[in-house]
Amino acid sequence: MTADAQLTDGLDLRPRTDLVTGDVLVGQRIRLRLQQVDGDWILNGTKGLPWLDWLTTKPFPEDAALGRIRQEIEGVPGVLQVQTLTITRSGTSATVTGDVLTESGVLPLVVAVGGGGVAESFSVAPHVIAATC
């Protein structure tokens, strides 16, 4: 069984750290991957998603964004497949929705990205992955 420290919605350690497993762990790992902006981590500039570029490019590179998001999600341990994935853009914000097949079932995915492309908060219920960037 894989486990990790449970993080707050702001992705900080809790004062009393609990371990998370199963779909909650998978959801937390997806949040971390999708929240990371490319170039954010100085030790590895290849990590992260180019949210700023995507949201400021006209026309919006929908196919490239969905392909890269799918690749990030499918690289998360415990994810077997991204079953559906769509993106809707409005100005400088976008919403990604889909279904993620995990080892224990299907997780609905909702990720809203907006503003400067920097993630501000994420929340995860056991069977729903929701994010606001």
Number of domains in the chain: 1
Write the DSSP symbol of residue 14: P
Residue with the bigger pLDDT between 115 and 88: it is 88
Q: φ, ψ for residue 55 (rounded to 5)?
A: -80, -15
Residue 41 · residue 35 · CB < 8 Å = no
Residue 120 · residue 113 · CB < 8 Å = no
Q: Is the pLDDT confidence value at 120 over 70? A: no
Q: Is the pTM of this model over 0.85?
A: no
Which domain, by its residues, includes 38?
Answer: 4-132
- Report pLDDT for 94: 78
pLDDT tens-digit profile of 67-113? Answer: 999 999 999 999 999 999 999 888 777 788 899 999 889 999 887 77
- Report pLDDT for 90: 82
CATH number at 20 reads 3.10.450.40
Pairing of strands 79-90, 121-125: unpaired
pLDDT tens-digit profile of 28-80? Answer: 888 788 877 787 667 766 778 888 888 888 888 999 999 999 999 999 999 99
- Residue 22 tokens read as 């199963």
Asked whether the bond before 50 is cis by omega within 30 degrees of 0, the reply is no
Q: Give the whole-angstrom CA distance, residue 75 versus residue 81.
A: 9
